[in-house]
Amino acid sequence: MAEASGSGGRIGVPDGGGGKGRRRDTRGWVSTLLSYAGRCRGKMAASVLLSLLSVGAGLVPYYAIYRVLDVVLLGGGWDGVVPWLVVAVVAHVATRLLFAGSTLLSHISAYTILADLRYDVARKLMRASLGTATSKGVGSLKNLLVDRIESIEVPLAHMIPELTGNLLLSLGILAWLWAVDWRMALACAATVPVGFLVFASGFASYNRMYAGYMEASDHVNSVMVEYIEGIRVVKAFNQTSGSYRRYADAVRAFRDYTLGWFKATWVTQNLALAVIPTTLLGVVPAGLALYLEGSLDAAQFALCCVLALAVVMPVTYLGASFNVANNVSYAIADAREFLDLPELPQPSARADVRGRGLVLEGVRFSYGEGRDEVLHGVDLEVGEGEFLALVGPSGSGKSTIARLVARHWDVTAGSVRIGGRDVRDMPLDQLSELVSYVSQDDYLLAGTLLDNVRLGRPGATDEEVLAAARAASCEEFVSRLPQGWQTPAGEAGHALSGGERQRICIARAILKDAPIVVFDEATAFADPQNEARIQASVARLARGKTLVVIAHRLSTITGADQIAVVSEGAIVARGTHEQLLEGCELYRGMWQAHVGASSWAAGSRGAAGASEASDKKGDDRSC
């Protein structure tokens, strides 16, 4: 198991050592958020309007109390009090109803924005190259789509209408106090700046500490996902949560950093929260002095005290909103890392493809700018309906060639053409119609086994799906499952072997019925019994199609029309099985290693006979 003590120690330093790691660019988060909010601007505007009306209605009870005090102090009876009490009750009910309507609309808007963000991230991943998409760890992707974006909901649903309402309520109360006596307004606001100054003094290193906290959070999330995904390996080597160093270090580092941050800020934060609400410290003595000198009457003095208490909650909310805004800014910055991923360029118009032949000409490729080139001038031509096999040592570039055909990446130089047209000149959906790509590590997605096969052609009927499954020889093992084809894929995945899962993926490709099929190590997970079934499935899929196969078992591709030997990113030899045995030392060595030196001659003769039989079978070809 890889240790992460260095990483864990770095992000676990309570004094902000996490600041050494990756930093998000949070600039422009407001404009990004507003661009999404603009998609439901009507509801957001109505939410803010209702919030403002709620604030206005919320001021009425204070005025009603003032009028009640005035009536009582002047010696009035219930006839003068009851109407104002009714006004206060009605205004309070109106305040709550208007606020409920505001938050309802803001929640609808918030969840609409969250859904749009998640859709846009998913769409971006589909349009980016495979290398770009997979460069983001599954932990960071889960953290964004599940946690980070979800954390925006509360601020969106509450902060926009409530922050607007509380800000205006604070200003409205201060304006009212100013209208009563400007000295009372100043006395009420006297402790607020002091509280904010104390609050601000604790934020000298806030951004650095917050950035370190977010880094530590990202790291522990990624390690947790890794731990869960690799739980079988962890169990096999008796690596419990405590003894698995990487997991334990990440959890410990996150705990230490969080506690360190809390200890560094709790004094100033609590002192600020203690000072800000003490508006009466200024209002009471100032009010008494003004009352004694005759500038205020008793009712006005009482009203000022009530208003001073009323301003506490909105002012405290404004202070708390600072931390909420920071959380949103980081969540938006995380989302922008995905939303700003470079996309594979594609035209809007479909290309005029003539034929289903495949040509790679002068193909060079590297996994990113500044990285070493892994393919060096690859030239290949596969005629329509022909069978090309790619063989070579591990890491030679076979899978890279296959993935370039499906345009998982774009070539650095040269071209990949289908039917005479460069794959970069056709929309991705058109290329997807032309090419089926089945890799050695295809997996089952959420849903039933039937749903997984239907992914090949979502509009297919159950009969068509089952026909494809039969062609892929899936019936034999699916019939063993209690729920058959309705078995959830997650549950079935634990009951199926690698070869059986591979046949589900082949059934997808059969149902898709694309004219070009690319197999990357199709029998990688198969035992000898399953391999025979997979070969039969592939033979059915390959009828009449252009076929590109990467195989680690050379016996499976001896009947190929053309075998290309790949070594160190280049094609070093091409020909049939017999031609390569005669003329390519690398291929001959691979074949000897495959069949065993003692039986090489017999294997060669058997392969020649198999090739003759394959020629007679025509399209019934097995890779």
> Do 284 and 386 belong to one domain?
no
Tell me if 427 is assigned to some domain. Answer: no
Residues 161, 521: Cα–Cα separation, whole Å: 56
Coil/strand/helix, residue 586: helix
Q: Are residues 305 and 204 in the same domain?
A: yes
The per-residue DSSP string of 513-571 comes to T-SEEEEESTTTT--HHHHHHHHHHHHHHHTTSEEEEE-SSGGGSTT-SEEEEEETTEE
H-state helical runs in 311-454: 312-339, 398-405, 428-434, 449-454
Residue 282 belongs to a domain: yes
If asked whether residues 313 and 392 sit together in one domain, one would say: no
CA 171, CA 311: separation in Å to the nearest integer? Answer: 9
Residue 590 lies in a domain: yes
Is 129 in the same domain as 264? Answer: yes
- Output the pLDDT for position 579: 94
Which positions of the chain have pLDDT values less than 50? Answer: 1-21, 597-623
Same domain (yes/no): 332, 458: no
Q: How far does the chain reach from its first CA to its final CA, in angstroms?
A: 37
404 in a domain, yes or no? no
Distance CA 302, CA 314 (A): 20
Residue 373 dihedral angles phi and psi, to the nearest 5°: -70, 135
CA distance 455 to 436: 12
pLDDT of residue 319: 64
Kindly state whether residues 315 and 391 are assigned to the same domain. no
**296 shares its domain with 150:** yes
Token pair 């846009």 is at which residue? 120
The residue with tokens 């996150």 is: 254
Phi/psi for 52 (5° steps) reads -65, -45
Q: Does some domain include residue 1?
A: no
Q: List all residues 6 or more positions away from 241 whose beta carbon is below 8 Å from its beta carbon.
A: 227, 247, 248, 251
Same domain, 596 and 462: yes
266 class by beta-carbon count within 10 Å (0-12 exposed, 13-18 middle, 19+ buried): exposed
Q: Is residue 424 part of a domain?
A: no
Residues 395, 437: Cα–Cα separation, whole Å: 19
CA 203 to chain centre: 31
CATH at residue 121: 1.20.1560.10
Domain check: are 133 and 232 in the same one? yes
388 DSSP β-pair partners: 548, 562
Q: Which CATH number do you get for residue 555?
A: 3.40.50.300
Q: Is residue 179 domain-shared with residue 301, that is, in the same domain?
A: yes
Do 321 and 448 lie in a common domain? no
Q: State how many domains the chain has.
A: 2
Is residue 509 a part of any domain in this protein? yes
What residue numbers bound the domain in which 536 lies?
A: 382-396+433-617
- Quick: pLDDT tens for 333-348: 778 877 888 888 889 8
**Residue given tokens 């997970």 in the structure block:** 525
CA triple 31-34-36, angle to 5 deg: 115
- Partners of 378 in beta bridges: 363
What's the full length of the chain, in residues? 623
Does some domain include residue 2? no
Q: What is the pLDDT of residues 218-239, one digit of tens each?
A: 778 778 777 776 776 666 666 6
Burial of 316: CB neighbours in 10 Å, binned 0-12, 13-18, 19+: middle
Give the pLDDT score at 39: 77
Cβ-based burial of 617 (10 A; exposed 0-12, middle 13-18, buried ≥19): exposed
User: Rounded to an integer, what distance in angstroms lies between the CA atom of residue 46 and that of residue 321?
Assistant: 22
Q: For residue 13, what pLDDT is reported?
A: 32
- Closest to 330 measured CA to CA, from 23, 10, 4: 23
Same structural domain, 324 and 463: no
0.75 surpassed by pTM = no
